[in-house]
């Protein structure tokens, strides 16, 4: 394929081969771009750094304050797409929390919400970027964990999807461990959650004119905020982390939270 000076790097070519958007834009570049037309997309490098947030004063349903002593997430891929996210909420969560979650902050900043009016009709649009590489992230670390550098094309990145992975050391995709306390009562918790289906429709909404760096903040308050710690046995010290029974409310709460796109907040790093 010839072109009017557009660089068809490996990344751009592969993203075109994946099928969807970008192709029309690149065709426009191949026949020549007029002065009044949008610039043709270019290949860019895309980096992703992941960390955990929402840890301070983490309070859950029932008024337990959770102290997280271990939190790790296995992620193998992040893709960005041209399409916008679905059903972003404008209402802050009604859960009592000692510290606003990133979801609450994001929701407060949104001036509207919209969705394709049909479940499952999130229109992801064309693939805009892809970062791949099995990465285990310590969500308690003070510095973010960076995934291997990926590829992308310039333009509007509307939404993202995340694929989690199974790590043998974690026993699954997510490990959360710690103590929840209320009125002098302590319970030890340990959640090991298996990787769900691809988590889609995470809002991104950034313009990338060149190489870009995205931050993914994993909301620990979102992961634990709806757990009913009354379901765990009270313990006298030393508190031992205990796993909830499969299908129990705590198990369902964390299992749902790991699947919710609102647990992951993506922003452009300066």
Partner 1 sequence: MFRPRSLALVAAVAATTAATGCGAGDLVITTFGEDFIETAIPSEFFADGGSVAFSKFLVTFSEMTVNGADGKVGGEVAGPVVFDLHEAGPAEVATLTGLEARRYEDISVAVGPATDATLGGNAASDDVEFMKAQGFSVFVEGSVSQNDVDKTFAWGFSTNTRYVDCELEDGSLGVVVPPGGAGEWQLTIHGDHLFYDDLASEDAVLRLSAIMTADSNDDDVIDIGELNAVDLTSLPADQYGVGGASDVLSLGDFVGALSRTLVHHTGEGECTAEKR
- 211 contributes a contact to partner 1 by CB under 8 A: no
Among candidate residues 36, 16, 37, the one with its CA nearest the CA of residue 26: 16
Q: Please, which residue, 29 or 199, has the CB nearer to partner 1?
A: 199
Please report how close the Cβ of residue 260 comes to partner 1 at its closest, in angstroms. Answer: 6
Reading phi first (left if > 0) and then psi (alpha if -120 to 50, else beta), residue 226 is in alpha
Binding pattern to partner 1, positions 181-210, x when CB under 8 A? ---------------xx--xxxx-------
Per the rule left: phi > 0, alpha: psi between -120 and 50, beta: everything else, 183 is left
The footprint of partner 1 on residues 238-257 (CB under 8 A) is 247, 249, 251-256
Cβ proximity of 195 and 166 under 8 Å: yes
Centroid of chain to Cα 208: 19
C-beta of 28 vs 222, nearer to partner 1: 222
Compute the distance between CA of residue 192 and CA of residue 169 in angstroms, rounded to an integer: 11
Q: Is the dihedral of CA 27, 30, 31, 36 positive or negative?
A: positive
Chosen residue from 88, 128, 131, 139 binding partner 1 by CB under 8 A: 88
Nearest distance in Å: CB 97, partner 1: 12
Contact segment (CB under 8 A) with partner 1 among 13-21, 171-179, 183-191, 226-234 equals 226-234
Stretch that binds partner 1, among 71-79, 101-109, 137-145, 163-171 (CB under 8 A): 101-109
What's the CA gap between 16 and 23, in Å, rounded? 6
Q: Quote the least distance from Cβ 21 to partner 1, whole Å.
A: 14
Residue corresponding to tokens 């009604």 = 94
Contact residues for partner 1, defined by CB under 8 A: 85-95, 101, 103-104, 107, 112-122, 196-197, 200-203, 222, 226-228, 247, 249, 251-256, 259-262
């Amino acid at each position: 394929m010839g072109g009017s000076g557009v660089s068809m790097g490996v990344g751009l070519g592969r993203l075109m081969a994946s099928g969807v958007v970008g192709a029309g834009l690149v065709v426009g570049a191949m026949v020549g771009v007029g002065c009044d037309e949008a610039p043709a997309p270019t290949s860019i490098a895309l980096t992703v750094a992941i960390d955990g947030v929402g840890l301070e004063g983490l309070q859950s349903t029932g008024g337990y304050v959770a102290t997280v002593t271990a939190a790790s997430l296995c992620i193998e891929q992040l893709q960005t797409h041209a399409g916008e996210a679905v059903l972003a909420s404008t209402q802050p969560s009604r859960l009592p929390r000692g510290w606003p979650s990133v979801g609450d902050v994001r929701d407060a900043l949104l001036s509207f919400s919209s969705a394709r009016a049909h479940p499952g009709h999130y229109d992801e649009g064309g693939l805009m970027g892809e970062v791949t590489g099995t990465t285990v992230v310590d969500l308690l670390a003070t510095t973010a964990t960076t995934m291997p550098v990926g590829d992308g094309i310039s333009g509007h990145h509307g939404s993202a999807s995340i694929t989690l992975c199974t790590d043998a050391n974690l026993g699954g995709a997510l490990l959360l461990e710690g103590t929840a306390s209320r009125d002098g009562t302590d319970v030890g918790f340990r959640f090991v959650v298996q990787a769900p289906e691809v988590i889609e429709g995470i809002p991104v909404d950034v313009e990338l004119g060149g190489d870009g760096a995205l931050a993914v903040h994993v909301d620990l308050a979102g992961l634990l905020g709806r757990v009913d710690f009354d379901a765990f046995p009270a313990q006298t010290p030393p508190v031992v982390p205990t796993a909830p029974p499969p299908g129990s409310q705590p198990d369902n709460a964390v299992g749902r939270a790991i699947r919710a796109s609102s647990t992951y907040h993506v922003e452009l790093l300066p």
